[in-house]
Structure 1
Amino acid sequence: MTSTYRPPRDDAPLVVFDFDHTLYDGDSGSHLFKWLIERAWWRVLLALLVAPVAGPLVAWLPTRRAGISVFVWIGTLGVRGRAALDALIDRYVIEHTEAIKARLLPVALDVFHQHRERGDRVVVATGAPPELARAILAFVAHEDVPVIGTLLGPKLGGMGALRHCHHAMKMTMLRAAGFAQPIEEAYSDSSADLPLLHAARKPVVVNPKPARVVMFRRVLPPGTPILNWGCPGRAGDPAR
């Protein structure tokens, strides 16, 4: 059953959550694109052929959008328009509801609920397609909040990333969507979200990679919480 919350006041604190490895254990976009590619043997073959080039592009920040776009394009060849892609995303979420539900982090959802119960203005900003996070939150977690995410559009018979909601662009897209007020709290696992964490009055690092903890402690204000919300293999102090 969907929870009901009072609408946020105009002056309510703005709270921003990342999605992957923050509310969701894993990379939701990669899980979706893998499913899209595995729909046909020829897509799998094509992905294997381009992986030696596209894979390293994904791993390097300046070329990440290009690398991701290659795999998105392979998974969406023949998909005509955003409406058709959104229908595929909804189908993926419905068919994998139980597996997705198991990846949503209960501690993270509790914190998410607490902010909504307080009347905070809560928004999710993710590198995944917004329809994916929106569908997961609606179908699986029964939450309805604004979602800002990577915009996909037609490209050479398939779909590609037009605007990657990542690093500084995430802040640009939040502001463009009307979230121009100061950010009270921000939750993220990723060093790519340092622009978001720096912009928040109260940054909170959750489920970081172990190798990133020292860096977060160095570049964020003293006393910034670094927590683990139940994400296996990730660092952070245990949630209380």
Structure 2
Amino acid sequence: MLAVFDLDGTLLDGDSTALWLWGRVRRSVPRLLAALLVAPVAIPMVIAPPTRRAGASILLWIATAGLSEPKLRESCAEFAAGFQAKALPLRWRGPGMATLDEHLAHGDEVVVVTAAPTVLAQALIAPLDRPIVVLGTSLKRRAGGWVADVHCRNQRKCQALAEAGHGKRWAYAYTDSLDDLPLLRAADAPMIVGCGKAAHRRLDRARLPNGRAMAW
């Protein structure tokens, strides 16, 4: 059986992409000034689903301008090393990781599908040394920096799973976000996770007849 997990807010207790980008921006005065200049426009764009890809790409470009692909991967690896060393305000969620390990112990296939860049998500997950497939947002080079190519969110997560050979339905789906409703609706056992009250409120809004809320 296939168990599908979101990453940020589900297996992780924060936003890995935002932390990675902020870490790059704050170490460079020109990047910081550029980010502050565009923030009033880019941040509302990131919040609104229709413009999320464009807004994220603006911030991503500022943080990565001048990076070659090897340097991009090196930056993600450095971030992952800092995460492993617990030098970042980001942690694995204990109940989430325990649930993931239960699926692996039962012989289930586990896929993490995330809006985070694939290169970043892979750098974070690889040290776990578990047989986990990672699907995320692809990046492309644009004017010397990197921007989102195919943004892996909402219905696109289902498309990414289908393109990777996992079909159009799965046994389990775990996420903290209602942006993942297509992912949840395609699961036999959709799970909305988070602190107890928030998860139950999201479950009520989702109107999933077979859905469950889980306190993580």
TM-score, normalised to structure 1's length?
A: 0.83
Q: CA deviation at 1:189?
A: 0.5
Residues 1-240 of structure 1 mapped to structure 2, 5 A cutoff: 13-81=1-69, 83-99=70-86, 103-139=91-127, 141-180=128-167, 182-207=169-194, 213-222=200-209, 224-229=211-216
Moved more, 69-78 or 178-187: 178-187
How many correspondences in the alignment? 215
Identity percentage of aligned residues: 37
* 1:13-56 C-alpha deviation (Å, 9 max, x unpaired): 11100001110001111111111212311100100000011011
Q: CA deviation at 1:222?
A: 3.5
1:127 is paired with a residue of what secondary structure? strand
C-alpha distance in 2, partners of 1:198/1:208? Answer: 21
- Over 3 Å counting, the alpha-carbon distance change for 1:37 and 1:209 in structure 2 is farther
- Over 3 Å counting, the alpha-carbon distance change for 1:85 and 1:15 in structure 2 is same
Q: CA deviation at 1:213?
A: 4.0
Q: CA deviation at 1:190?
A: 0.4
C-alpha distance in 1, partners of 2:203/2:24? Answer: 35
Q: CA deviation at 1:84?
A: 2.6
C-alpha distance in 1, partners of 2:71/2:196? Answer: 35
- Work out whether residues 206 and 226 of structure 1, in 8 Å CA contact, stay in contact via their aligned partners in 2: yes
**Amino acid aligned to 1:137:** I
* 1:169-222 C-alpha deviation (Å, 9 max, x unpaired): 111111112211520000000010000000001000001796674453243333
Q: CA deviation at 1:74?
A: 0.3
C-alpha distance in 2, partners of 1:109/1:212? Answer: 18
C-alpha distance in 2, partners of 1:28/1:198? Answer: 25
**Amino acid aligned to 1:95:** G
C-alpha distance in 1, partners of 2:12/2:111? Answer: 15
C-alpha distance in 2, partners of 1:58/1:101? Answer: 21
Unaligned runs of at least 5 residues, structure 2: none
Runs of at least 4 residues off by over 6 Å: none
1:96 is paired with a residue of what secondary structure? helix
CA RMSD of aligned residues (A): 2.0
Q: CA deviation at 1:132?
A: 1.8
C-alpha distance in 1, partners of 2:90/2:43? Answer: 27
- Work out whether residues 20 and 26 of structure 1, in 8 Å CA contact, stay in contact via their aligned partners in 2: yes
- Over 3 Å counting, the alpha-carbon distance change for 1:54 and 1:181 in structure 2 is closer
* 1:41-81 C-alpha deviation (Å, 9 max, x unpaired): 11001000000110110010000000000110000000123
- Work out whether residues 189 and 208 of structure 1, in 8 Å CA contact, stay in contact via their aligned partners in 2: no
